[in-house]
Structure 1
Amino acid sequence: MTTRSAWHLPTGQTREDTRLAVSLGMAASGPLTARGGCVVGGLQLTGTAATSMQARLSPGRLWVPGGSAAAQGGYPVTVDADTQLTFADGHATLPRVDALVVRVYDADYDASGRYEAVLEIVQGTPASAPVPPALPRTAELLYEVSVPAGASAARGITWATSVADRRRYTAALGGILPAGGGHGTQGAYPGQYRDAGGRLERWDGGQWQKYIPDAVLRHSIDLGWTTSKTFTEALNEAVPLTTSFVAPASTWVHIAFGARVAGDDGGGAYLSVNVRPKAGGALLLTASDDLAAIYTGAGSASVYTNVPLGRLTPGTEYSVTAAHRTGTTKAWFDNRFLRVDPVA
């Protein structure tokens, strides 16, 4: 069948039809598939004792994608009560890594003769440097547990340090995915969003990019001077002030800069910036009087200005460097700063 509908025909709706229909409201992982994962807040694994081979899994819900064919659809699964799990004793001399999964058996696809969802511990291979075991088909990984050599009920697993949380999370179609588990981290389509530790990230087709990259701030307390009447990034007695930033999806940033400045005989001190690709290439923004913080009075003063810069390439790293000149014989610059704020 090439076109399917659910809750439509008076007879003939298959289990595949139903599973595919249910997945329509979930975050996608492909044209016919929904992303597997847990509902946030459930399926917590805790050891029942400091040294024991048993652990307890709290109730929770998750979606397990079918692993045999896209048209298989996926399976909504609920663990509705605390469940006690027992891990096998450790090898006499070698450690191993076990995986706790929710596994779906469906005889229509796996010839198991079973139709059920179960919590299953997949035992790893003992080794001096053990690795997690391969996962069975149509299973969602929850945790990896390190089982030390010689572990038993009397001398068991130290749960506080032996559990790696591998739960990934799912959301409604078009929703923001909670990042987690370090498992299945790729996005499904450009424009998908996720919450990574409180920061919004966007999948660009190849990697997750911060939707609004971090603002950057650089500050120097070095007092430097120049006799150049054209803009120069170098100062005598002070190192160049430079920083880098990543262009956001909007392609725009806001650059602010300033300093405490003075010019001999009140002739003027000029502070501007140069912006270029960090990897090299032509200047995108060239220091000039039109884009400068300027002071031409007697003594010294604090000056500040800001410049918007757009049409950048999202995800590309750029550098911004302070540039200075004098309007007389010498200009002084102290307490310089650069700040770059990505624009949403």
Structure 2
Amino acid sequence: MTVRSAWHLPTGQTREDTRLAVSLGMASAAPLLTRAGCVFGGLQLTGTAATGMQAKLSPGQVWIPGTSTGSQGGYPVTVDSDTLLTVADGHSSLARVDALVVRVYDTDYDGSGTYEAALELLQGTPAGSPTAPAVPKNAELLYEIAVPAGASAAKGITWASAITDRRRYTAALGGIVPAAGGAPHNGAYIGQYRDAGGRLERWDGTQWAKYIPDSVLRHTADWGATTSATYQEMLTDTVATLTATFTAPASRWVSLTLGAFTAADGDATAYISFRLRTQGGTEVLAPSDDRAAALFGAGRASISTCFPVGNLTPGAVYTATAAYRSSITGTRVHFDDRFIRVDPVA
């Protein structure tokens, strides 16, 4: 059958029809594959003692996508009470890493002869540098457990340092899913969002990118001066230019602020502006008095300006470099405590 419906025909609806229908409401990973993962907050693993061979898994729910065939559909699995798990004794001289998984058995696809869901502790291979066993089909990894050499009921596992959380999370279709410690999920479509440590990320078709990139602040207390009447990026008595490299947000706009503690000799005017370049070095904006903070006349003052910069390419990397000039050729102007700040606009 190439076209399926559920709760439609008076008879003949299969379990596969039902699983595929339920999958419509889950976050997708492919046209017929839903995103594997846990419901947030459940399935917590803790040792029953500070050192021992038993651990307890709290109640929770997890979605297991069928990966034996493309049209298998997914399985909602619930652990409805605390479950005790006993880790097998360690090797006499080598450490190993075990894996705790939730696994679905469906004989229609795996020939197992059974229909059930199970919690399984998969034993790793003892080694000098052990690795966790591979996760089988139709299963989801929850935790990895480091089992030291010689571990037993008499000399147990130190649970506080032995458990590595590999849970991934899922959500309803269109929901924002937490990124977590398991194998990373690629986005299923351009424009999908996830929560990565409190920051919103968007799938751009190739990678997860911050929806609103980080603000960038660059500062130097290095004093310098110039006598040039044309904009210069390098000041005398300084060791480097002042640059801020940033990623353009989806809005295409950033707010760029720059300033310095400034002084001027004679009747000169001191200007601080910026030059904007692409990552490849192409100039986008040249320094200009229209985009400058200025100190008019002799004296000292802290000056700054804020300028909106738009028409940027989302996701592209740019560099803003401070540039300086004097209004009078040969008359020195001075800059100290210089800074550039770039704030992406949502």
TM-score by length of 1: 0.97
**What code does the residue aligned with 2:321 have?**
T
Contact 1:266–1:299 at 8 Å: present in 2 too?
A: no
Corresponding residue number in structure 2 for 1:252: 253
Contact 1:275–1:283 at 8 Å: present in 2 too?
A: yes
Distance across 2 between alignment mates of 1:185 and 1:17: 25
Distance across 2 between alignment mates of 1:170 and 1:122: 23
Q: Secondary structure at the match of 1:160?
A: helix
Deviation at 1:186, TM superposition (A): 1.7
Between 260-269 and 51-60, the greater mean CA deviation after superposition: 260-269
Distance across 2 between alignment mates of 1:110 and 1:2: 22
Deviation at 1:307, TM superposition (A): 2.0
Between 124-133 and 54-63, the greater mean CA deviation after superposition: 124-133
Per-residue CA deviations over 1:7-28 (Å, capped at 9, x if unaligned) read: 1111011101111111111100
Matches within 5 A, 1:277-316: 277-278=278-279, 280-316=280-316
**What code does the residue aligned with 2:253 have?**
W
Between 257-266 and 65-74, the greater mean CA deviation after superposition: 257-266
Provide structure 2 residue ranges, at least 5 long, that are not aligned to the other structure.
none
Number of aligned residues:
343
Per-residue CA deviations over 1:99-134 (Å, capped at 9, x if unaligned) read: 100000001101101101010111111111111101
**What code does the residue aligned with 1:244 have?**
T
Residue 139 of structure 2 corresponds to residue 151 of structure 1: no
Q: Secondary structure at the match of 2:266?
A: helix
Provide structure 1 residue ranges, at least 5 long, that are not aligned to the other structure.
none
Q: Secondary structure at the match of 1:69?
A: coil
Deviation at 1:266, TM superposition (A): 2.4
Moved over 4 A (4+): none
Deviation at 1:288, TM superposition (A): 1.3
Per-residue CA deviations over 1:244-301 (Å, capped at 9, x if unaligned) read: 11122222211111112222222200110011123x3221111111211112133122
**What code does the residue aligned with 1:343 have?**
V
Matches within 5 A, 1:80-99: 80-99=80-99
Distance across 1 between alignment mates of 2:15 and 2:216: 53
Corresponding residue number in structure 2 for 1:242: 243
Distance across 2 between alignment mates of 1:19 and 1:104: 13
Q: 2:340 aligns with which of 335, 338, 341?
A: 338
Q: Secondary structure at the match of 2:284?
A: coil
Distance across 2 between alignment mates of 1:301 and 1:51: 64
Q: Secondary structure at the match of 2:294?
A: strand
Distance across 1 between alignment mates of 2:325 and 2:220: 17
Residue 192 of structure 2 corresponds to residue 192 of structure 1: yes
Distance across 1 between alignment mates of 2:315 and 2:92: 50
